[in-house]
A and B are shown apart, each in its own frame.
Chain A
Amino acid sequence: MLVDRYYAQTVFVIAKNALERQYRTSFLGIGWMLVSPVVQVTIFAIIMPIIRSTPHEIDYVLFLVSTFPLWSFIIGSLLRSTTTLIVEAETIKRSLVSTTVFPLSAVLQQFYSFLISFTVMVAMWAALSGSWHATVLLVPIYLVPVLIAVGAIAVALAFLTPYVHDIPECVQTAASVLFWLTPVVYPMSSVPDRARGWYSLNPIYLLMRPISELTYAGRLPSLSDTAACLAVAAVAVVIGYAVHRRCGRNFVYYL
């Protein structure tokens, strides 16, 4: 099913229409997708240095650019996907569309926003600082496992939610905890050595780390970082497949 071009087209059409619907009646329209990252970088650049004594070796704005949009994409996708099947219940009961298109469309919608935010932020950073890392051009390659992992977990969460309606709240709570357990607003260098080992158990950190290396550190991710990122994607696919196989058959009766 995943290789069917009509399946992919359906995911695109639903995501595109959802995005268009979101901005259709606003004056700026899709322009808001540009305004938001510009404002964020401005805040990072002006306010953060004031409220935080930044260690001199850390370019904190670039660090946030390398982590914040990606974190927002991952968590936003997972949160949005949890309710997709519940929201589309009436359509699902009456049409023959493959039900996995709904969580994947939610992920794609978030991915569009991420791509625009990330590109604008990196461009703004380059313009403001007069420098950039050429390694950032390799980010699309490392986004592939991230997209696969997020898509797989999004499918798993979407198909679990009809059976356990508390899943959206659980994800929301887990996200607020994970935000502080993942180096999103603080660099790994500020984590004590004895605690760093625990971060290797955080799958979101493992997914984000290669992109942070490319964008912020300006170096290629190590082999072990790349392998860890791929391993997270592989485990996510196994989880997504297993949950879909287990819950995908009768979920319609629980919507």
Chain B
Amino acid sequence: MSVTIDLEAVEVYGVDMHARARSLKSWMLGRAGREVRIPILRGVTFHAAPGDRVAVIGPNGSGKSSLLKVISGNYPIHAGRRHVSGTIAPLIEMGAGFDGELTGRRNIKLSYAVRGRLRDYSREIEQQIVDFAELGDKIDLPLKTYSSGMSARLAFSSAIFQRPDILLLDEVFAVGDAAFVAKSRELLLDQIDRAPITLIVSHGNPDVLSACNRAILMRDGRIAHEGSPGDICDRYAAAAASASERG
């Protein structure tokens, strides 16, 4: 089975729950209201094949993360066609499912559980994560006693040990001291290199751009431009500059 991502004219919209609650009251009072839909992705067509490392660039609210969630299957589509083949690892938020009351060790297993990855969990991988995060004996203390740097190291380490066909990275950056950042960066680039297809959401981070061979610029839920990372980054910078002049 070949690893591919095919999106054709994909439409996705959210729902304004406050307006919906008001309309429900209207409905009960006999004044029928309508569900207020918020467009998230509009007519997005995107294809990726093995060897593609795609930087997804754009301002906040342009639909970058939603595009990744559509590819991962977290967001079902309302119109268009979605065909994705291959195993997917969405690293969309570090520390998903972490619980401050539990020990770091317990949180590793919990994060595997809530990410639906228990199949990959083992004592060996747990030890690899503990070693990589450099937490030593502190791994058996409750997470709430960790510094923010330690928590972030554990979150990064718990998420990064995966071998997917399609790697989706949303603003995933290593944090901590210089040595940890350096080795995390190396591991992250190695992961990007191993995965047949990688999509990385970025605001123009040079490390990210250097790892990519394609880029798309998102604007208002649409793919506005597609090209080389350098070209797209220049367009994004120019658009940001002109917006700032207007503002």
Contacts and interface: CB of A to CB of B under 8 A. Distances in A.
B118 interface: yes
Interface in B1-35: 13-15, 17, 20-21, 24
Given A13-B113, A17-B102, A254-B15, A94 B118 contact: no
A91 to B, nearest CB: 5
B113 A165 contact: no
A96 B72 contact: yes
A54 interface: no
A91 B13 contact: no
Interface stretch (B87-95, B147-155, B191-199, B229-237): B87-95
Interface string A27-65: 000000000000000000000000000000000000000
B102 A253 contact: no
Give the secondary structure class of B's interface. mixed
A20 B109 CA distance: 14
B17 A165 contact: yes
A217 to B, nearest CB: 41
A12 to B, nearest CB: 9
A200 interface: no
Which interface class (under 10, 10 to 19, 20 to 34, 35 or more) fits B?
20 to 34
Contacts, number: 85
A194 interface: no
B210 to A, nearest CB: 26
Contacts of A13: 109-110, 113, 118
Give the secondary structure class of A's interface. helix
B30 to A, nearest CB: 18
B96 A94 contact: yes
A93 B73 CA distance: 9
B118 A10 contact: yes
A98 to B, nearest CB: 6
Given A95-B97, A95-B116, A17 B106 contact: yes
Interface of A: 6, 9-10, 13-14, 17, 20-21, 24-25, 88, 90-98, 101, 164-165, 249-250, 252-254
17 contacts: A10-B113, A13-B113, A17-B99, A20-B106, A21-B99, A21-B101, A93-B74, A94-B69, A95-B90, A96-B74, A96-B115, A97-B113, A97-B116, A249-B76, A250-B78, A252-B74, A253-B15
